[in-house]
């Protein structure tokens, strides 16, 4: 007889680990597919606001050009009377395009509304944002904190998706959860809003990745060393 107990446990642990890896693949796919509110005009992945450090670095350059002073970020700066240049707009290929306006970030760290909703009333900012975008940014309603000192405007649905890993006891179930209250309305739609499914398509399109992860996990688990001690019993029937 050979005792497969410990070997079986190793295989099971490996399969659970593979299941958790597969669930993370589904989570990643769901985050890619989760709809994000559109607040910028034009191509969604082409514009971001400058950070406060970039504004400071550009200030001498802009002064040399004779442009109006920047009103970004610093509460002490006065609001310009006319629509001034918003400053250079950087193109980025980063997926995190909704960089918080610096004033909004400061407001979010304080946990409240922006100090001056009118701060965005510039022609340049108006051109960058849609009507919905101006409301969302000025009200702070859609601000989503992604870290102690960072955040985005929008992206809450995507940011809150997480994986609940499977346990090794009993039946192993890994879950990908979207806890946002309006997630079900996005997934299934309502009378007034068409459905924008993101969880079920992520699962459906990750089947190959899930199979691959489970195969890898099984192969890894089976490689575990078999128990080296044991004995063979031979029975002879008379």
Interface ranges with another protein (CB under 8 A): 184, 188-195, 197, 200-201, 204-205, 207
Residue 132: CB minimum distance to another protein, A? 18
Q: Using the minimum distance from each CB to another protein, give the nearer residue, 91 or 211.
A: 211
Q: Which two tokens stand for residue 176?
A: 């990908």
Residue 211: CB minimum distance to another protein, A? 11
Rounded to 5 degrees, what are φ and ψ at 128? Answer: -75, -35
Please give the Cα distance from 114 to 100 (Å, whole number).
11
Q: Using the minimum distance from each CB to another protein, give the nearer residue, 141 or 200.
A: 200
Residue 194: CB minimum distance to another protein, A? 4
Q: Using the minimum distance from each CB to another protein, give the nearer residue, 39 or 183.
A: 183
230 has which bridge partners?
2
Please choose, from the candidates 121, 106, 12, the residue with its C-alpha nearest in 3D space to the C-alpha of residue 51.
106
Q: Which two tokens stand for residue 229?
A: 């001690």
Q: Using the minimum distance from each CB to another protein, give the nearer residue, 124 or 203.
A: 203
Residue 164: CB minimum distance to another protein, A? 19
Please give the Cα distance from 21 to 14 (Å, whole number).
11
């Amino acid at each position: 007889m050979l005792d497969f107990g410990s070997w079986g446990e190793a295989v099971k642990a490996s399969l659970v680990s593979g299941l958790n890896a597969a669930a993370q693949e589904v989570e990643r796919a769901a985050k890619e597919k989760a709809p994000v509110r559109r607040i910028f005009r034009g191509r969604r992945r082409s514009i971001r606001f400058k950070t406060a450090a970039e504004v400071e670095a550009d200030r001498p350059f802009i002064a040399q050009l004779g442009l109006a002073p920047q009103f970004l970020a610093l509460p002490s700066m006065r609001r310009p009377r006319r629509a001034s240049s918003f400053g250079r707009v950087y193109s980025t290929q980063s997926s995190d395009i909704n960089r918080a306006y610096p004033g909004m970030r400061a407001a979010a760290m304080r946990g409240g509304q922006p100090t001056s909703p009118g701060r965005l009333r510039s022609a340049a900012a108006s051109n960058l944002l849609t009507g919905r975008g101006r409301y969302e940014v000025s009200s702070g309603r859609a601000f989503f904190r992604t870290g102690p000192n960072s955040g985005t405007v929008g992206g809450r649905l995507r940011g809150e998706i997480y994986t609940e890993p499977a346990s090794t006891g009993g039946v192993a179930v890994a879950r990908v959860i979207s806890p946002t209250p309006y997630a079900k309305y996005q997934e299934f739609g309502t009378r007034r809003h068409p459905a924008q499914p993101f969880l079920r398509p992520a699962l459906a399109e990750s089947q190959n990745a899930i199979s691959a992860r489970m195969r890898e996990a099984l192969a890894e688990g089976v490689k575990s060393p078999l128990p080296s001690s044991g004995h063979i019993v031979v029975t002879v029937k008379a």
